[in-house]
Structure 1
Amino acid sequence: MARHVAIITDSTAYLPQEALRRHRITSVPLTVVVDGEPLEEGTEISARSLAEALRRHRPVTTSRPSPETFAAAYRDAADAGADAIVSLHLSAEFSGTYDAAVLAAADAPVPVRVVDSGVVAMALGFCALSAAEAAESGGSVDEAVAAAEKRAAATSAFFYVDTLDYLRRGGRIGAAQALLGSALAVKPLLELADGRIGPLEKVRTASRAIARLEELAVLRAGTAPVDIAVHHLAAPERARQLAERLRERVPGLGELHVSEVGAVIGAHTGPGLLGTVLSPH
């Protein structure tokens, strides 16, 4: 049976394929450009290939989907029976994806509500899941948007990077610019806040930074029901160990996702990224 409200997001949500299928969420891919060659995130370039390109210092940039790509996704949703669409995307501070979706929405065959989530990675993924669950229960566009925005407001994202250099190159560093002067002497912990990346703490070693990342996650999770995602780029063992410790230490843990970030986020953080997303429900 066709659902009244369709949910569309983008590839930076890093939702598992199974979750996309189960909740009938459409993911529109962003583009990664390596040595001038445009590649679709998730289909034409893997996180592993991206990490190798970065290690080899090959030129890597990212690009939003075109308005035409969004227009095609909106037509497909309408053809499948949707009467309306909620289009949820990564923070407009990071990408022109939101603007491209707005342009396409103007000529869509059904009403489209485009939402700047203010977040990224599984913080966006959890928002899309909440919107889909609202739609599945017969909710309206307003109810699906409200569910997503409520989830976004409650969600926290912390992450560790081996170096700030990739964020600096991509212009995504925001207030974390203040850390650059001592970047060689510290291992930075960063936070996603108000749609931007900002400095959280400066720690002297990688091991201490990762231990502190764990503590921050446990403190923010508290004892209430919470879903958690652990993200990494080319650091699977770090991610596995962190996930196991959080499983032991977070009493209200619901879903626990462990995944490698895709090429778009990876291009701006570099290999060694380790992040936690905490989303109460």
Structure 2
Amino acid sequence: MAVVVVTDSSASLPPEILDELGIAVVPLHILVGDQALREGIDPVAIDYASDTVTTSAASPGELRAVYEQALERSGGDGVVAVHLSRQLSGTWEAGRQAVRDMGADGTIRLVDSLGAGLATGLPVLAAARQARRNAPLAAVHDTAVATAARARTFILVNRTEQLRRSGRLSSAASFFGSELVTKPLLQMVEGRLELREKVRTRSKAYTKLVAAAVDAAGADGAAVAVQHLGAAEAADTIAGRLRELVPGIGELLVAEFGPALAVHLGLGSVGVLVVPGGCG
């Protein structure tokens, strides 16, 4: 058999890639009133401006069920589970609890992607490609860890109120003056979401976003992903610019943020992820 890769629904990989590489997905939860909806499974209609909608991590029981199925499918070769940053969600910790409960420390390896969305998805993709080549458990795990460590994420949001209210934005990210007249450009730093800079206009913010991604990509090829919420035209334009400007671009994915991330980012958000060296 072969190592099986597991992730959570924040990873945002297209269904065809999940199916092709046999990647198992555990849904995160969106809490709307008294309803707990499973991302990617239950129909989700959300008012992204509401302060009553929130999210919750996958539970140890949910993770254990998927891990057990994946381990069986691997024929004993093992499982690599890549989840969104433990600084942003309790999912990684719930996964660790599930592995302890199973007594499977040697056959299930957990990876903190240090990101979310396709910043989780691309390390998952790299690991799954290694697994498809029948690489051993340690090699698949190391590929996911190395890809996550190389990844650089930049996100432009309209406002940070939702992120700060939910605790997803580092307390180090302070603002001076009215946030209404600036466009906050954020970045992931060791799994935390922090302020990179404030930009006065959206057009300048897009330029800064592209420049940050191009600089992070370097000159030796990279995998690139663009995500958005309700900003498809801007995302396509940014993707086109990155295709022109990133030397040796290996692959380029464009996708919407899933509901579990969109709740915290808000409408109009655009993010760019760069993995120097690509995803195998």
TM-score (norm 1): 0.92
The more displaced of 101-110 and 189-198 is 101-110
Report what 2:97 is aligned to: 103
Report what 2:75 is aligned to: 82
Report what 1:266 is aligned to: 262
Report what 1:199 is aligned to: 195
**Could you give the per-residue CA deviations for residues 123-149 of structure 1, whole angstroms, max 9, x where no partner exists?**
111111111122222222211111111
Match for residue 140 of structure 1 among 136, 143, 149: 136
Q: Alpha-carbon deviation of 1:107?
A: 3.3
Distance (Å, rounded) in 2 between the aligned partners of 1:220 and 1:177: 21
Report what 1:112 is aligned to: 108
Report what 1:59 is aligned to: 52
Distance (Å, rounded) in 2 between the aligned partners of 1:266 and 1:259: 12
Distance (Å, rounded) in 2 between the aligned partners of 1:82 and 1:253: 36
Distance (Å, rounded) in 2 between the aligned partners of 1:136 and 1:208: 42
CA contact (8 A) 2:229 2:270 kept: yes
Q: Alpha-carbon deviation of 1:43?
A: 2.1
**Could you give the per-residue CA deviations for residues 109-167 of structure 1, whole angstroms, max 9, x where no partner exists?**
75211222212111111111111122222222211111111111111000100011111
CA contact (8 A) 1:35 1:58 kept: no
Distance (Å, rounded) in 1 between the aligned partners of 2:31 and 2:72: 31
Stretches of structure 1 lacking an aligned partner (at least 5 in a row): none
TM-score (norm 2): 0.93
What amino acid is aligned across from residue 40 of structure 1 in structure 2? R
Distance (Å, rounded) in 2 between the aligned partners of 1:180 and 1:42: 38
The more displaced of 248-257 and 106-115 is 106-115
CA contact (8 A) 1:74 1:109 kept: no
Are the structure 2 counterparts of residues 165 and 139 from structure 1 closer, same or farther at C-alpha, using a change threshold of 3 Å?
A: same
Distance (Å, rounded) in 2 between the aligned partners of 1:255 and 1:180: 38
Are the structure 2 counterparts of residues 172 and 160 from structure 1 closer, same or farther at C-alpha, using a change threshold of 3 Å?
A: same
**Could you give the per-residue CA deviations for residues 58-84 of structure 1, whole angstroms, max 9, x where no partner exists?**
611111111111111122123324311
Distance (Å, rounded) in 1 between the aligned partners of 2:187 and 2:55: 21
Q: Alpha-carbon deviation of 1:223?
A: 2.4
SS in 2 for 1:258: strand
Percent identity over the alignment?
A: 38
Report what 2:186 is aligned to: 190
SS in 1 for 2:102: coil
SS in 2 for 1:177: coil
RMSD: 1.6
Aligned residue pairs: how many? Answer: 274
Which aligned pairs between 1:1-281 and structure 2 lie closer than 5 A?
A: 2-3=1-2, 5-46=3-44, 49-50=45-46, 53-55=47-49, 57=50, 59-83=52-76, 84-108=78-102, 111-175=107-171, 177-179=173-175, 181-280=177-276, 281=278
Q: Alpha-carbon deviation of 1:177?
A: 3.3
SS in 1 for 2:180: coil
Distance (Å, rounded) in 2 between the aligned partners of 1:151 and 1:78: 23
